[in-house]
Amino acid sequence: MPRILYLVHNLADPAVARRIAMLQAGGATVDLVGFRRGDAPKPELPVETMVELDITHDGRMLQRLVATLGAAWRAPDWSRALKRPDVIMARNLEMLGVANRLVGLWGGTPALVYESLDIHRLLLRSDGVGQAMRGLEQRLMRRVDALITSSPAFLRNHFHVHGAPPTLLVENKVFAPGFSAVGCNPALLGDFAPMRLGWFGALRCSKSLAALDALSRHFGGGLEVTLRGRPALTEFADFHATTTAAPHLNYAGTFRYPDDLAEIYSDVHFVWAIDFFEEGQNSNWLLPNRIYEGCLNGAVPIALAGTETAAFIERLGIGVVVPDIRPETLIGLFEGMTAERMQQLAAAVASLPRDLFRCSEEDCAQLVAHLSSLKSTIPDLEEAA
């Protein structure tokens, strides 16, 4: 049974818990090291050993940098609580810096894996800051034996442009062992009115909120919009005031993953898969969780032309792709949405194999087997020197 040391920037991130569960389902023993966000309690996770490095805060990059440098400097001390891993997996760039400090602390150097599920905006700047950050990433990747990412667009637009180690694509599919039931689009049950649209997950796009508010007001109850998830309050002028004042747009709070997925997606006809949070960059390149969650449970995805999400649903022959989110575009889309059209769109999603959107235990086993097969290149480099 391989031992994987997982380094994360936010211990309380639900995606961290999902990745741990996937690794364990694949047969790995997992130890966890990371930072805790200041407003989050220390999570209870089923790992053999968990080390909290420090407390960090969203939006305070300098504080996070100082905390990361401090954790890397102290690595010989806190790593004594850990058994020697076979693989060190670092989730994002700051943890890759800590991982580089760790790899030489054990005899028989562990393999090093860089997990990058989005590209930080600092890496994409065209100025000296961006150049310096890309140079840092390249230096830290010299010791990396494999890169894990979640969208082919990240490879085309960043990693393959600047250089990357061997890559493993791990999509953001739903991992829900024990939850075999999936949802059904209301249109397939003859429920067409009011039309219902869901925007679920990481809520961080002010343009989407404004567009959906205006759209739902236009239809005066003929289109209801439901929001579920965690809003990034720093990205909105006043998220809660806007949603409270909206007559046909409702923020219904967070949801449990995967427990609530079938229920919340079965209550809507469409899932909003558009995001301008990092317009032209990450927002264009990512394949978000909601596209897999929604399609698995029958919701019809709505995506923006020119994005990787649009390319994904077009390859599958499902969903709706819009050229923009101007009022006239969205109003025209839903004014032409007949019951027959809704049923056709829903049937196309329902006809696809579920394994396109759901991660199986076999997928987990293949992931862990791949990680276990990695061999560190560091000894070879040292011998060559």
The rounded percent of the chain whose pLDDT value lies above 90 is 79
Helix (H, G, I), strand (E, B) or coil at 5: strand
- If you average pLDDT over residues 163-171, what whole number do you get? 93
Within a domain: 167: yes
How high is the pLDDT of residue 383? 39
What's the mean per-residue pLDDT of the chain? 92
- If you average pLDDT over residues 325-336, what whole number do you get? 98
CATH of the domain at 334: 3.40.50.2000
Inform me whether the pLDDT recorded for 150 exceeds 90: yes
Residue found by looking up tokens 């599919």 in the block: 173
Inform me whether the pLDDT recorded for 364 exceeds 50: yes
Inform me whether the pLDDT recorded for 230 exceeds 80: yes
pLDDT digits (tens, 9 = 90+) for 175-214: 999 888 899 999 999 999 999 999 999 999 999 999 999 9
How high is the pLDDT of residue 120? 82
Instruction: Evaluate the CA torsion angle 329, 274, 250, 269 in order and state its sign.
Output: positive
Q: Tell me the pLDDT band of 379, cut-offs 50, 70 and 90.
A: low
How high is the pLDDT of residue 378? 66
How high is the pLDDT of residue 380? 45
Same domain assignment for residues 164 and 193: no
Within a domain: 336: yes
Same domain assignment for residues 328 and 239: yes
Order of strands, sheet of 167-169, starting from the edge strand that comes earlier in the sequence: 50-56, 29-37, 3-8, 87-91, 111-115, 146-149, 167-169
Number of domains in the chain: 2
- If you average pLDDT over residues 335-353, what whole number do you get? 98
Same domain assignment for residues 203 and 340: yes
Structure tokens at 29: 């023993």
CB 165 within 8 Å of CB 144: yes
Q: Tell me the pLDDT band of 382, cut-offs 50, 70 and 90.
A: very low
How high is the pLDDT of residue 59? 63
- 16-20, 61-65, 94-98, 280-284: segment of lowest average pLDDT: 61-65
| Dihedral over alpha carbons 58, 62, 64, 67 (to 10 degrees) | -150
How high is the pLDDT of residue 178? 85
Within a domain: 177: no
Same domain assignment for residues 305 and 379: no
Same domain assignment for residues 19 and 144: yes
Within a domain: 179: no
How high is the pLDDT of residue 370? 96
How high is the pLDDT of residue 381? 43
Same domain assignment for residues 155 and 213: no
Same domain assignment for residues 223 and 127: no
Q: How far apart are the first and last CA of the chain?
A: 33
Residue found by looking up tokens 């020119």 in the block: 306
Same domain assignment for residues 92 and 204: no
Within a domain: 181: no
Within a domain: 262: yes
Same domain assignment for residues 248 and 162: no
Q: Tell me the pLDDT band of 41, cut-offs 50, 70 and 90.
A: confident
- If you average pLDDT over residues 45-62, what whole number do you get? 84
- pTM exceeding the 0.85 threshold for the entire prediction: yes
Same domain assignment for residues 295 and 260: yes
Within a domain: 166: yes
- 282-291, 292-301, 319-328: segment of lowest average pLDDT: 282-291
Same domain assignment for residues 205 and 257: yes
Q: Give the structural domain span for 269.
A: 186-356
Q: Tell me the pLDDT band of 55, cut-offs 50, 70 and 90.
A: confident
Same domain assignment for residues 101 and 238: no
Q: Which residues have C-beta within 8 Å of that of residue 251, sequence separation ≥ 6?
A: 227, 228, 231, 239, 240, 243, 244
